[in-house]
Structure 1
């Protein structure tokens, strides 16, 4: 299928051929008929893409600070590589989509194939969206009109926050598309509406809709005009839908407002507020968030958890429905706002001059005979017939892009497939790394007999099921950590693992030259190991913290260091105890200390902290044994104390990824033992589970691993609980 994307590196707007998405659980698959170009938002993205690096940096000073901090911890070259990789990531354009449902996902009863819907899908021939981000289109609303649903909901949410009452005077500053829709909805609400803009054409459209339209460009003093019109009272509410860098707009809004008036920001303006004006009038100021309640809430949008109507009357989906109802009853007339209708293939008519465009609303029209194809052949002349070591990748996120693919490419690995959810990122990576096939259906590569091994880098909650599918398909498997989130998942993996094919988890630290050097120095002697992770905080809403999706940072990330200490000690974890900062035990903690007791008498301490400075090194490992000490500082410098013939190893940042993927590609092609013994992988996974159990139970949790003569998949015991193969 075809989809519009924006390149932040080159600034080009491209109609790309990408795989069509698959319908997801709790979502619907839509074949697009129309999409609306949001000129304000998309103009900003296009212009940012066209800016040079210095201009980009000036527009995002907070990103510059993050880059400087990363240089301190990771070094200059890795940081620059990360920045350029980020700029290469394509951005799908658009969020106002209309089409017909062609498939519904598991758990969806609100829609059925054939329904005409409006959604926040991008400019693409097929889109897959969660059910709460779509609304059914009434029969008497055309596709062209329905394309205004989502952008109309943005204006409507601003109105709901302003809470206007019949007869109030409301000022709308900025009569672009959102501003005109906002003003017309306010008129329908019984308000006296004053629209402010510099463009005479927009002012004329506003007047035709019953809006009092004024322009400072003609010499009108906006504040004095509104003061006189309201008999010295001032405006009851002001909704700012303009986009400008100046602070003058917010200052002007405060001046024209009545005492205890409401100011709502929908657009983007400078926000250096004059405290005196707000203090003297007791003004309220609020920033409107997109389409309404539920926006950016993963529980509502991705998991389908609706807010009860008696408590949250207007969610984003209900706002969509309200806009469609206003269009159906002619309270909102959007057809007159359409400036141009352009076939998708002629998109350049809109985007090549978007910075100078005077259009109000541009509609993209889609062909209706496009087949839904989840696979795109990127390099059709490539052939792997008769070769060994062919790889398929599932997941096209940042780790795949910035770490795994560069390492595999350097190792000369043969990659035939890359599967991604949307198809956009996967296709971009396929082109860059000359991967033959980009797909949105990972079953394609599982069913291909040429594929010898599968690498999985999707979200944590999908790891176990995909590992099992790949093992059952007879493929060698590499999966990023963690292997599983629950004991049940681990048990199912043990049943699927037969020992004839390999399973590798991305515990890359043991493959670092620093870890290999320390292991060579200390052997398997009894030792004490202290590993400190200055992980840095991430927002509580991030999926990693969700126990059912990410598993929390202990299971999801601290497992790295359990494996590393296991590698150093040459033994397996016997018991675990974890303590965490805070009053209530939580599986999502990221400020914790984990104690590990090993079968051979070694001990380990993992300090996993998220409350440290980002300017400090992220990782530090200390090994104490036989009156000798080895210290790894952020996998850049290793120092030895008391070791004959060794004092220091210094490299660029090297956490072992390159060696790990090189060895994996070699083993798949040439054969050889597993990179990490399966029983060690299982033991590490169980130890991460035991850490959470320890925190919740308030004590040590014992692991009784299988004896050395047991085969993979035999019965294991964890704190007395039996895991059967």
Structure 2
């Protein structure tokens, strides 16, 4: 294990802070935001919203506006991040003609409410993972976006990191041969002491699937030729009714197999191994990874591939939405992968008996 892995932060907030610290004195790359600039507002004032504001600041940009259920928090957020405008209501944000795009960063079970409002108002939307509770909600949101002629994008980092774009480019060019097997782990340790927290609270759409499973299934689906048609799984639920651990095995019509293990109560490495005919690709800490190792089958040679920078993860998300608005077909098509992942998550979660109050 490398020194970096040994010293890796234990939680996502600490990891993000370390990533920002690592780029603190670097000049911002001039190739991240390549499309015409949009004016952004954010809904929510939590950790991800702060990372979003910090990410824009790295590029010399500022948030236009912020809205939050508690206005006092929005005011404090705006003061901290030099946001131009605090809205008195979400409706005021939706009606602001100076806002082009909205980033939704609230809890999972509130996303569809804000998606309906923002999309119907003609705003482009980047929505934090999990983009919706289920595939029916995502289908609805996509229909609203299509009707309004705007872009809807899933903010799951896997879809936007340049590393995966580079690996996909090489895989699609035939360098690696056929992808046969994806093995993906994600384990976090969340104390059971407080079952009202968001990880275990069914009223906050808790559970491993929507919180961490979306990352694992996204990287698996990204490298599969088609959506899996056969799925076998086992899930463990806690007393609140949400999933805390699960194992998923799936196969598509091309015979490619995915094996995914998830847990909220045991630490395990965030490790993805993509096995091809000519090599296997290993990615550690894969949600915001900027480096992968390729081990070539013929001679055991190791190759390091680097693309992007972890600390710019949210910049890549926003840049992809701006590219999609400008007509970039690759960026616009990312929502199709997100929809496949959401369909998998919905079907597996329901097979485990996990149903949220909004779905009853």
Do structure 1's residue 544 and structure 2's residue 199 form an aligned pair? yes
Please list, as runs of the form range in 1=range in 2, the aligned pairs for 1:483-502 lying within 5 A after superposition.
Answer: 483-486=131-134, 488-498=136-146, 500-502=149-151
- Correspondent of 2:159 among 510, 518, 527: 510
Worse-matched range after superposition: 476-485 or 512-521: 512-521
Please list, as runs of the form range in 1=range in 2, the aligned pairs for 1:245-284 lying within 5 A after superposition.
Answer: none
Do structure 1's residue 626 and structure 2's residue 281 form an aligned pair? no
Note the residue ranges of structure 1 that are not aligned, 5 or more in a row: 1-68, 86-386, 698-725
Q: How many residues align structurally? A: 320
Q: Give the distance between the partners of 2:239 and 2:252, measured in 1 at CA.
A: 25
User: Could you say what the CA RMSD is over the residues aligned between the two structures, in angstroms?
Assistant: 3.4
Q: Give the distance between the partners of 2:346 and 2:132, measured in 1 at CA.
A: 10
> TM-score w.r.t. structure 2 length?
0.76
> Would the alpha carbon gap of residues 497 and 611 (structure 1) be closer, same or farther in structure 2, given more than 3 Å must change?
same
> Would the alpha carbon gap of residues 639 and 654 (structure 1) be closer, same or farther in structure 2, given more than 3 Å must change?
farther
Q: State the 1:589 CA deviation.
A: 1.4
**Which structure: larger Rg?**
1
Larger RCO, structures 1/2 (Cα 8 Å, 6+ apart): 2
Q: State the 1:491 CA deviation.
A: 4.4
Q: Give the distance between the partners of 2:344 and 2:71, measured in 1 at CA.
A: 36
Per-residue CA distance 1:297-351 (angstroms, 9 max, x = gap): xxxxxxxxxxxxxxxxxxxxxxxxxxxxxxxxxxxxxxxxxxxxxxxxxxxxxxx
Please list, as runs of the form range in 1=range in 2, the aligned pairs for 1:135-154 lying within 5 A after superposition.
Answer: none
Please list, as runs of the form range in 1=range in 2, the aligned pairs for 1:96-175 lying within 5 A after superposition.
Answer: none
Asked if the contact 1:407–1:661 (Cα under 8 Å) also holds between the matched residues in 2, the reply is: no
Give the aligned partner of residue 395 of structure 1. Answer: 44
Per-residue CA distance 1:593-647 (angstroms, 9 max, x = gap): 122323433221111122334xx64x11000010411100113642111179961
Asked if the contact 1:576–1:694 (Cα under 8 Å) also holds between the matched residues in 2, the reply is: no
Note the residue ranges of structure 2 that are not aligned, 5 or more in a row: 21-35, 355-360
Per-residue CA distance 1:561-607 (angstroms, 9 max, x = gap): 2222211224223233221247x898511211122323433221111
Q: State the 1:494 CA deviation.
A: 4.1
Give the aligned partner of residue 658 of structure 1. Answer: 315
Q: Structure 1 stretches (4+) deviating beyond 6 angstroms?
A: 643-646
Q: State the 1:411 CA deviation.
A: 3.7
Q: Give the distance between the partners of 1:592 and 1:565, measured in 2 at CA.
A: 16
Please list, as runs of the form range in 1=range in 2, the aligned pairs for 1:208-247 lying within 5 A after superposition.
Answer: none
Q: Give the distance between the partners of 1:489 and 1:587, measured in 2 at CA.
A: 21
- Correspondent of 1:610 among 264, 281, 286: 264
Q: Give the distance between the partners of 2:202 and 2:71, measured in 1 at CA.
A: 27
Q: Give the distance between the partners of 2:16 and 2:209, measured in 1 at CA.
A: 28
Q: Give the distance between the partners of 1:590 and 1:413, measured in 2 at CA.
A: 39
- Correspondent of 1:638 among 292, 295, 298: 292
Q: State the 1:80 CA deviation.
A: 8.7
Q: Give the distance between the partners of 1:485 and 1:548, measured in 2 at CA.
A: 12
> Would the alpha carbon gap of residues 578 and 489 (structure 1) be closer, same or farther in structure 2, given more than 3 Å must change?
same
